[in-house]
Structure 1
Amino acid sequence: MITGYAIAVSACAAGVAIWAFVLVMLNREPEKPLLMGVGAIEALLVVQVVISVVMLIGGGQPGSMLTFLAYLVGSLLVLPLGTVWALAERTRSSTAILGVLCLTVPVLLLRMVEVWGGASA
């Protein structure tokens, strides 16, 4: 697991989350630029998956393979599934949901880094 990349993705996700919460304070529904930001975070997560798979194939071993794979898949699915839910009805709450989704990304990546380092609990 490349910790620096995970931190960079986490910082980007936090930035998009802050952007979403500013839009919530302005009472705005999600607009195309915010959705593009969420899409960019998802693209960065796809790269994270590729990096992780290459490292696993190359002999890398997380502390708990099952836990690591669960976080890996979860990090890839949280944004698309949550965005579909948020956009079912475009309101200010949808923007807040997108902000919360973006805040989950750093948490998932932090856990992936911890599990890769050997902390399986």
Structure 2
Amino acid sequence: MSVWLTGAVVVLTLVAAVVLVVALVRDEPAQDRTFALLAVTEVVLVVQLVVGCVLLAGTERDVDGVLFVSYLVGVTLALPVGVFWSLAERTRAGTAVLLVAVLTVVALQLRLEVIWSGRA
């Protein structure tokens, strides 16, 4: 996998996590700028999905393809699910759901790197 994509995903999600923690402490729902940050993160995740599938098709590594693609799809879907849930619940709980979704992306991303390295 691309170190740049992984770094971008981790940095963007950690910045979003800090913004969401601040919103939770202030007892505010997520703001438009938070959703914009998550949209940028989602674009990077979609690019990662495409790049990951292309790299998998051309690699000689011992990577479990089904597991790898499943994690790619899962990490790509985690944020939209959290965003839709948060938009339906415009309270502090909705902000907490977004925080959980963002932290889920970080965990899935790190697991994706382990799978790509062949140590799955």
Q: Same fold (TM over 0.5)?
A: yes
Deviating 4+ runs (over 6 angstroms): none
- SS across alignment from 1:87: helix
CA distance in 1, matches of 2:62, 2:85: 32
Which residue does the alignment assign to 1:67?
Answer: 67
Q: Give the deviation of 1:3 after TM superposition.
A: 2.7
Structure 1 stretches of 5 or more lacking a match? Answer: none
Tell which deviates more after alignment, 48-57 or 22-31. Answer: 48-57
Give the direction of change, closer, same or farther, for the CA distance of 1:63–1:25 in structure 2 (3 Å limit): same
RMSD across aligned positions (CA): 1.4
CA distance in 2, matches of 1:99, 1:108: 14
Where relative contact order (Cα < 8 A, 6+ residues apart) is larger, the structure is 1
Which residue does the alignment assign to 2:26?
Answer: 26
Structure 2 stretches of 5 or more lacking a match? Answer: none
Which residue does the alignment assign to 1:45?
Answer: 45
> Is the Cα–Cα contact under 8 Å of residues 62 and 115 in structure 1 kept in the other structure?
no
CA distance in 2, matches of 1:119, 1:73: 20
CA distance in 2, matches of 1:60, 1:75: 24
- SS across alignment from 1:30: coil
TM-score (norm 2): 0.91
Which residue does the alignment assign to 2:119?
Answer: 119
> Is the Cα–Cα contact under 8 Å of residues 63 and 115 in structure 1 kept in the other structure?
yes
User: How many residues align structurally?
Assistant: 120
TM-score (norm 1): 0.90
Give the direction of change, closer, same or farther, for the CA distance of 1:62–1:36 in structure 2 (3 Å limit): farther
